[in-house]
Amino acid sequence: MSEKEKFLDPKEYRSLDLIPGIAKTNNSASTNTLINLLIDSSNRDVREDVLLLLKKEESAVELLVEAIENPRYLEYKNKLIAACWESGTDCSKYLPVFIAAAINESYVVALEAVTVIENMEGPFDEEELAQAKKDIAFVLKAKESEKHPLLNILREILVRF
């Protein structure tokens, strides 16, 4: 039986009860399984439960951000960023990560990142916030792109913070 099959098999253990432990222990195999539950479209029924539990576990945000920054999951970055806002976790302390995604990634990833930023509660590090505003202004002054309207919205969000 594969690790994923074990993780989902209630006879083996109730996988969703283990999410807080995974987020705390940072066990690589278990973390990979958890991330796979979020990104594999065949896990839609379990994904909702995973998102609810991620919201309850403070250290889950760190796990998600690590996965977002991991090149191994590059093609799933939009799904992982979406999991941040779908789970309702507050990612305020990771503002630079989501600003970088909005600026440097595809339109789809940028859209998810802006949604995460829009739902941030703060407080924010004033230097990071100032740098984010400068970075967005710089990109908006550069060559026009399909992301400009989205980045304008992001600029407005940052001003409100």
**Model pLDDT for residues 48-62, shown as the tens digit of each residue:** 777 877 777 777 788
pTM of the model as a whole = 0.80
Contact 128, 96 (CB under 8 A): yes
Q: Helix or strand or coil: residue 57? A: coil
Are 49 and 97 contained in the same domain? no
Q: What is the pLDDT of residues 89-119, one digit of tens each?
A: 899 999 999 999 999 999 999 999 999 999 9
Query: Does residue 84 register a pLDDT over 90?
Result: yes
Query: Does residue 83 register a pLDDT over 60?
Result: yes
Instruction: Quickly state the pLDDT bin for 13 (edges 50, 70, 90).
Output: very low
Q: What total of structural domains would you count in the chain? A: 2
Give the domain extent around 23: 1-76
